[in-house]
Copies of this chain bind each other. A is one copy, B any other.
Amino acid sequence: MKTAVCLFVLALLGLPTQAQTIHSPGRKLTLQFQLSPAGEPTYQLRYGARPVVLPSRLVVLLKDAPGFDRGFTIAKVDSSRHDDTWTPVWGEVKQIRNHYQELAVTVQQAAAQNRQLVLRFRLFDDGLGFRYEFPEQANLKYFTVSDERTEFNLAADHQAFWIRGDYDTNEYIYSTTKLSEVGPTTYKVTPEISTQVPIAPNAVQTPLMLKSADGLYVNLHEAALVNYPAMALLVNGATHGLVSQLTPSAAGPDSKAFLQAPARTPWRTVVVADNAPAILASKLILNLNEPSKIQDTGWITPQKFVGVWWEMHVNKGNWFYSDVTNIQLAGADFTQFKPTGRHSANTANVKRYIDFAAKNGLQSVLVEGWNVGWEDWFGNWKEEVFDFVTPYPDFAVDELQAYAAARNVKLIMHHETSGSVTNYERRMDAAYRFMKAHNYDAVKTGYVGRIIPRGEHHDGQWMVNHYVHAAQQTAANRIMVDMHESVRPTGLHRTYPNWLANEAARGNEFNAWSQGNPPEHETILPFTRLMGGPMDYTPGIFQIKLDAYAPQNKGKQVHTTLAKQLALYVTLYSPLQMAADLPETYEKLSDAFQFIRDVAVDWDDTRILAAEPGDHLTTVRKAKGKDEWYLGSITDEQPRQQSVRLDFLTPGVRYVATVYADGKGADWQKNPMAYQIRQVPVTSKSKLDLKLAPGGGAAVSFKPATREKGKN
């Protein structure tokens, strides 16, 4: 239901620079728009009486044309109220209310041929979204954005949860510092990231999580990033002012976005609350995205999967097949190459994963390394790396297709591009036809390495358009997609619900071969990366110390307890969840694996019971269409007690809570695999006490007591 009502329209020429003020529907937030005496558009945002954003300028500069920066007068002001509720194809909740007050100010530059710009604000009770709109007009057709300088002048020196601004990667470790401390000595050094193009010592990425001394939580990001480069933020430590920094194109630093009017930027988002859980509950970014462009969504299936993947990360096998290390794809005959005998994506091994998935009710099996080219795929800015249709000699496509189908398991395709996106785009049609011919309906894509077209960045406009193109082309072929090393998401899964997940942050695999992810990592991700959309974090590692898999992994381990790995299935939302460890490991720890068998991947409801970025997070969710709830609770390196009131359960129903908790003496470093499982009868009036070990967590399933236990 839509109740857009135009409340007032002021279309007076020569309108003064006086403030335009709107309040959010529940009057929690107040936005004021004003022109400065120089005719500069500015805005400010208050939460109650507390300032969130001090007066800040809104500036877009153009190449070879006057900037949209100053000399403006107000030509028109529109305000309206919007309130409706929509149903996501999949998600954390069954329905989402989209309730905001809108202010659209048309400003005009007399000195620049009366060019007009619309500044559109949508003010929700949980935050603000605003964007620049460039209407179709006589004196603006094609234009190149050289810079956008949107200011976010913050009220004080907040605590910030941040990673470096970088045009090509978001796989950094978070730093937690004051804004004034952001700089060249406070970021986490991560030499293990292969492709790094840091922007500047004071640049940070969005989503940026901030916490004020007086208890305000502020999250800065963007929504609906389409046909525009991604935005980073430059921090002025002295003033606590932030300003946007767009990713440049291959045409140079003065050419960031190529636009044609009518055009618009993504929404710049400021989510605000006086408590941390409310930040995580915000649906503001989704609300600012367009509804689904896919008509029939019945084929889109949230799912759990296993994959031929972790065994390569832990050195039990390889992506590559042969001992040839210098490959030129055209003309290479892989059937003539000598196999190493360590190629994981071989038919027998994949069958083992299919059997495991079938036995345990997991929907699908990802296979990486199935296609030729992995011997020589990385680091050389090479265009012809993979063809996406030629399997290695030991991967029997047809045989596996039949084997999986007979067991009601789907195979998930893998398309690593090596950053050579021109090569991927020109082969996409053939690759998707190959997939459909072999009954694949989901693909994991990857963008490791420097981008081709050379000079473009992962986060630039061209690549942003590529990701959307891939989402559209997969959708046209009824294929679900999971993108790794892509730009950070901005809620576009509302518009393209076949785009199930992204990586676009530091995932679990870093634990296998680098300094890893510190115990606080997963308590920060929901406040940062996940604000934009689901993450394919690949949780579920049970064999925490990795030298058990191969001696050369000595010292490598996942930086959590086993129980915390289970909790991540709830705390890190995704409709696509991997059970990332090896089948043989899960078989040995089958009682703990029961939580992964049980846990849902699509939800009717979600409650954030407790949260503090960098410290802890407790989330409970109700499985889609069932009276079953799943709870995850995690902590950083500090042990913690969480006392959970179960008042979310249906009153009057008796449930069995199965608690997967850290065992006695559990500790992420010293004793990470100690866990205990207990079953407790509970009702909505019960309370559950969870003890979280250092680096630990707990996972709980709640099922009505009348149901059979232990199976779903």
Residues of A within 8 A of B (CB): 136, 141-142, 249-252, 255, 258, 260-262, 326, 328, 380-383, 422, 425-426, 428-430, 453-456, 462, 465, 469
Tell me the minimal C-beta distance from A467 to chain B in angstroms: 13
Q: A142-B380, A142-B382, A326-B141 are in contact. Are A251 and B455 (CB under 8 A)?
A: yes
Tell me the minimal C-beta distance from A586 to chain B in angstroms: 40
Residues of B within 8 A of A383 (CB): 258, 465
Q: Give the number of times this chain occurs in the complex, counting copies.
A: 2
Q: Among A422, A453, A455, A456, which residue has the most Cβ atoms of chain B within 10 A?
A: A453
Q: A425-B425, A426-B428 are in contact. Are A454 and B250 (CB under 8 A)?
A: yes
Kindly report which residue of chain B lies nearest to residue A141, judged by CB atoms: B326
Residues of B within 8 A of A453 (CB): 250, 422, 453-456, 462
Instruction: Give the 7 A-B CB pairs with smallest separation, nearest first.
Output: A453-B453, A429-B429, A142-B380, A425-B426, A250-B455, A251-B454, A250-B454
Q: Tell me the bound Cα distance from A305 to B356 in angstroms.
A: 63
Q: Tell me the bound Cα distance from A469 to B423 in angstroms.
A: 11
Residues of B within 8 A of A328 (CB): 260, 262
Kindly report which residue of chain B lies nearest to residue A456, judged by CB atoms: B453
Tell me the minimal C-beta distance from A286 to chain B in angstroms: 23
Kindly report which residue of chain B lies nearest to residue A465, judged by CB atoms: B383
Tell me the minimal C-beta distance from A189 to chain B in angstroms: 24
Q: Tell me the bound Cα distance from A328 to B326 in angstroms.
A: 44
Whether B455 pairs with A260 at a CB distance below 8 angstroms is no
The answer, among B250, B260, B425, for a CB contact under 8 Å with A326, is B260
Whether B251 pairs with A469 at a CB distance below 8 angstroms is no
Q: Give 15 CB contacts A-B under 8 Å.
A: A136-B326, A141-B380, A142-B381, A249-B454, A250-B453, A252-B455, A255-B454, A258-B381, A260-B328, A262-B328, A422-B422, A425-B425, A426-B428, A453-B455, A454-B462
Whether B428 pairs with A380 at a CB distance below 8 angstroms is no
Residues of B within 8 A of A255 (CB): 454
Q: Tell me the bound Cα distance from A258 to B328 in angstroms.
A: 13
Q: Tell me the bound Cα distance from A627 to B341 in angstroms.
A: 65
The answer, among B258, B326, B426, B462, for a CB contact under 8 Å with A382, is B258
Kindly report which residue of chain B lies nearest to residue A143, judged by CB atoms: B380
Q: Tell me the bound Cα distance from A594 to B249 in angstroms.
A: 55
Whether A260 pairs with B456 at a CB distance below 8 angstroms is no
Q: Tell me the bound Cα distance from A251 to B380 in angstroms.
A: 13
Residues of B within 8 A of A429 (CB): 429-430
Q: Tell me the bound Cα distance from A465 to B330 in angstroms.
A: 13
Tell me the minimal C-beta distance from A143 to chain B in angstroms: 9
Residues of B within 8 A of A381 (CB): 142, 251, 258
Tell me the minimal C-beta distance from A664 to chain B in angstroms: 54
Kindly report which residue of chain B lies nearest to residue A425, judged by CB atoms: B426
Tell me the minimal C-beta distance from A405 to chain B in angstroms: 27
